[in-house]
Amino acid sequence: MPIPMTLRAMTLLVLLAFPAGAETILISNEKDNTITVIDGLTMKVTRTVRVGQRPRGIALSKDQRQLFICAGDDDRVEVLDLETWRVVRHLPSGSDPELLALHPDGRRLFVANEDDNLVTVVDVERGAVLTEIAVGVEPEGMGMSPDGRFLVNTSETTNMAHVIDTATQQIIANVPVGARPRVAIWQADGARFWVSSEIGGVVTVVDAVTRAVIGPIRFAGQGVGREAVQPVGMVFTADGSKAFVALGPANRVAVVDAVTLKVERYLLVGQRVWNVALSPDGKRVYSTNGVSNDLSVIDIEANRVLRSIPVGRSPWGVVVRP
């Protein structure tokens, strides 16, 4: 039977608005103890998977067949199989793991343990702790350099970015940044890393060689008090020309020119935006909104929010599997 023209038109509109491939969007829901799974083509929730207590930071394995999950209240990293959708392993970590970063070798997992003031290095294959690195008070952000030589860990109370040599597993530099640093990311060329500071309301840009501060980037929310502008998650566009910065209770994502470090615009998303992720085709940014309990879909070229998708309670982390 021929498809009615109205249905054809509707299908075309969906494909134009969401020109994604077979990508899968994965969101950790902090209060529900679940992972929400969204199909990138239909933008529909396909399943909800129960995991450990208070899941926050998440990261894909190198082969993208598994998801590493910081189960903060269980003091462990869980491994979710993305074919069977079952937790198949528990990896050791310190107390209250919050964010984590996988080394490009696919074997070493670096985990920030907020209560222990440690970065724990875990051998994924053996499921064993390789070493523990003492850092500042309340470690959180975990930014791995593109070549895997360095890891930047942020300490929320010490207000520093600690540069760690991943070969020697030693701190080689401590860079003062704004108050309560949360997330660290690297430019694709490895020349600079960016650190968001929630209470300081700034993003600090740091030269990776000299460790000199180039920023900071400041934000002025439209109709929002300065105290509500609290940068957390960040992601670069595929070409590295722009960065999208989640501004917390300001309920906005800032679009920043990565060369001039100037804010170009603010996009209104859901309430209490935490973290952001880039689609594999580089056309969309997804943001987790912790109070409105949804995921916002941002069209990069159009600089607009396409829609919001309800997920679990207090969505926090987000990654996209191609």
- Is residue 16 over pLDDT 80? no
More confident residue, 222 or 176: 176
Q: State the SS3 of 232-258.
A: CCEEECCCCCEEEEECECCCEEEEEEC
Please give the Cα distance from 243 to 187 (Å, whole number). Answer: 10
Mean pLDDT for all residues in the chain? 93
List pLDDT tens digits, range 94-128.
Answer: 999 999 999 999 999 999 999 999 999 999 999 99
Output DSSP code: residue 72: G
Nearest to 74 by CA among 49, 48, 101, 93: 93
- Residue 220: band (very low, low, confident or very high) from pLDDT cuts 50, 70, 90: confident
Please state, in angstroms and as integers, the Cα–Cα distance from residue 168 to each residue in 79, 100, 108, 249, following that order. 27, 19, 13, 39
List pLDDT tens digits, range 28-53.
Answer: 999 999 999 999 999 999 999 999 99
Predicted TM-score (pTM) of this structure: 0.92
Q: What is the pLDDT of residue 3?
A: 40
Nearest to 269 by CA among 224, 214, 213: 224
Q: What is the pLDDT of residue 6?
A: 47
Give the other-Cβ count within 10 Å of 34's Cβ.
Answer: 20
Please give the Cα distance from 158 to 180 (Å, whole number). Answer: 8
Percentage of the chain beyond pLDDT 90 is 90
- Residue 224: band (very low, low, confident or very high) from pLDDT cuts 50, 70, 90: confident
Q: What is the pLDDT of residue 222?
A: 65
226 three-state secondary structure: helix
Query: Are the beta carbons of 320 and 26 closer than 8 angstroms?
Result: yes
Please give the Cα distance from 143 to 99 (Å, whole number). Answer: 10
Output DSSP code: residue 22: S
Chain centroid to CA 60: 11
Query: Are the beta carbons of 183 and 141 closer than 8 angstroms?
Result: yes
- Is residue 223 over pLDDT 80? no
Nearest to 232 by CA among 202, 212, 262, 205: 202
Q: What is the pLDDT of residue 21?
A: 55
